[in-house]
């Protein structure tokens, strides 16, 4: 049957774990019971402990190579903490600084293609977004440094430094160092969204330079965010932030009213299940076994039916959750609409740019993880047909 005749309802729009991935963490639910010891540094049933419990901090401090004092645990999703830090900086002011809103037209550097939720946070607070080209080793730092040096209204920068969403870029040591050390205002902050720090798709466990150890000149510059959303359960995970000790104290202090205590029992459940850094990596290897064939299937379909060429390019990422399609002569919107009309939902064209506007109409993001292999085969066939028909590649 031609894909034009199929009646399908397939979703490759969001980077959601599939049921098989979620099933991997079900044993975690059995680890805290009525007879479980819940009194450690505090009584985990009570109010104390705004910034999170020690056993889980131990795990993330090992993964991130920072001290426990540099880690804050709160909420279940990292975007919640990002949103919160931006709100606090806008209306309360960072530690020792005046509120951003008193500085005039607040602006953020937004490497693009990038993560649309970062851009939505900026839109929510009326922050002007400045797109900067993404390279394979991170954002174009010549442009970033020039912008930040000459515009005191630029107060922040979004970064997904490892397996960047959606391009799969891996920030080089040079890029990390330049971000940490470049000239900027004292209240400029880097929002370092390290969402995919253990989400490897190959046997190579790629690591990047530790930006929190490269900030001696600007020790409070970086907020590094992480979560277990794609490690355990998006709907029942743990999120956190790593930064300087001064920033963490400020974050805990300004969070006392809204979050007197996080869900310490859920944090303990995670600590008992994940155990340590090695436990996390072993757990993520099970994820990789499930999802790597999905990335391979799409890569094979595109290679066999389209062929990597000057007109159509895509990445075969070493980690993360996305495949980034690039069309040299535009046509992303028309390919998206073709897929949509045939029951395949992919991330809307333009979404990976500020304000939802891809000025050259070149990029589309694919999220393979949620669908089964059989569903992905149908989805890939529709996608390939859309590219051939809409870009005139026949």
Segment 203-225, tens digit of pLDDT? 999 999 999 999 778 999 999 99
Q: Give the pLDDT confidence score for residue 54 in this predicted structure.
A: 96
Rounded Cα distance between 384 and 134, Å, is 25
Residue 186 in 3-state DSSP? coil
Read off the pLDDT of each residue in 95-100 and give the average, rounded to a whole number: 94
Assign a CATH topology to domain 3-23+280-391.
3.90.1150
C-alpha distances out from residue 348 to 14, 51, 248, 356, Å: 10, 37, 36, 9
Q: What rounded mean pLDDT belongs to the chain?
A: 95
Please spell the DSSP secondary structure of 76-122, one letter per residue.
Answer: S-HHHHHHHHHHHHHHT-STTS--GGGGSS-EEEEEES--HHHHHHH
With 70 as the cut, is the pLDDT of residue 171 above it?
A: yes
Segment 274-283, tens digit of pLDDT? 999 999 999 9
E strands along the chain, which residues?
A: 10-12, 71-73, 107-112, 128-135, 138-139, 154-159, 189-193, 222-227, 239-242, 312-314, 323-327, 344-346, 363-366
With 90 as the cut, is the pLDDT of residue 130 above it?
A: yes
Read off the pLDDT of each residue in 295-320 and give the average, rounded to a whole number: 94
Read off the pLDDT of each residue in 336-347 and give the average, rounded to a whole number: 97
Name residues whose C-beta falls within 8 Å of residue 345's C-beta, 6 or more positions apart in sequence: 10, 11, 12, 13, 339
What are the residue boundaries of the structural domains of the chain, listed by start?
A: 3-23+280-391, 37-275
Rounded Cα distance between 231 and 251, Å, is 25
Q: Quick one: CA dihedral 80, 222, 200, 297, positive or negative?
A: positive
Rounded Cα distance between 110 and 358, Å, is 13
Read off the pLDDT of each residue in 147-152 and give the average, rounded to a whole number: 96
Q: Give the pLDDT confidence score for residue 7 in this predicted structure.
A: 74
Q: Give the pLDDT confidence score for residue 1 in this predicted structure.
A: 41
Q: Give the pLDDT confidence score for residue 391 in this predicted structure.
A: 87
Residue 363 in 3-state DSSP? strand
- Name the residue among 350, 336, 340, 348 with its Cα closest to residue 391: 336
Lowest-pLDDT range of 58-72, 227-241, 248-262 = 248-262
Assign a CATH topology to domain 37-275.
3.40.640
Q: Give the pLDDT confidence score for residue 5 in this predicted structure.
A: 47
- Name the residue among 307, 302, 323 with its Cα closest to residue 381: 302
């Amino acid at each position: 049957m031609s894909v034009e005749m199929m009646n399908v309802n397939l979703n490759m729009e969001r980077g959601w774990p599939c049921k098989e991935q979620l099933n991997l963490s079900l044993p975690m639910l059995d680890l805290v019971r009525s007879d479980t010891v819940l009194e450690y540094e505090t009584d985990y049933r009570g109010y104390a402990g705004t910034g999170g419990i020690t056993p889980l901090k131990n795990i993330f401090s090992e993964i991130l190579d920072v001290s426990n004092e540099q880690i804050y645990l709160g909420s279940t999703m990292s975007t919640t903490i990002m949103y919160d830090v931006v709100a606090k900086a806008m209306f309360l002011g960072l530690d020792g600084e005046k509120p951003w809103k008193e500085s005039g037209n607040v602006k953020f550097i937004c490497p693009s293609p990038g993560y649309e939720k970062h851009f939505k946070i900026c839109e929510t607070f009326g922050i002007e977004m400045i797109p900067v080209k993404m390279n394979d080793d991170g954002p174009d730092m010549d442009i970033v440094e020039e912008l930040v040096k000459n515009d005191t209204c630029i107060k922040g920068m979004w970064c997904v430094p490892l397996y960047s969403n959606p391009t799969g870029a891996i920030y080089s040591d040079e890029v990390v160092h330049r971000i940490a050390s470049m000239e900027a205002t004292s209240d400029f902050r880097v929002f370092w969204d390290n969402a995919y720090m253990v989400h490897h798709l190959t046997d190579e466990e790629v690591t990047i330079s530790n930006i929190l150890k490269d900030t001696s000149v600007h020790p409070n510059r970086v907020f590094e965010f992480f979560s277990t959303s794609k490690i355990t359960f998006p709907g029942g995970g743990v999120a956190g932030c790593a930064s300087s000790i001064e920033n963490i104290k400020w974050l805990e202090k300004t969070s006392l009213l809204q979050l007197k205590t996080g869900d310490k029992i859920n944090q303990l459940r995670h600590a008992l299940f994940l155990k340590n850094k090695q436990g996390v990596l072993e757990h993520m290897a099970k994820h990789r076994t499930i999802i790597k064939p999905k990335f391979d299937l799409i890569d094979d379909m595109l290679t066999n039916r389209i062929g990597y060429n000057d007109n159509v390019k895509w990445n075969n990422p070493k980690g993360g959750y996305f495949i980034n399609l690039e069309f040299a002569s535009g046509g992303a919107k028309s390919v998206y609409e073709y897929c949509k009309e045939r029951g395949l939902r992919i991330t809307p064209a333009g979404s990976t740019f500020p304000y939802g506007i891809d000025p050259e109409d070149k990029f589309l993001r694919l999220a393979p993880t949620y669908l089964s292999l059989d569903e992905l085969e149908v989805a890939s066939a529709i996608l390939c047909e859309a590219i051939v028909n809409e870009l005139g590649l026949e």
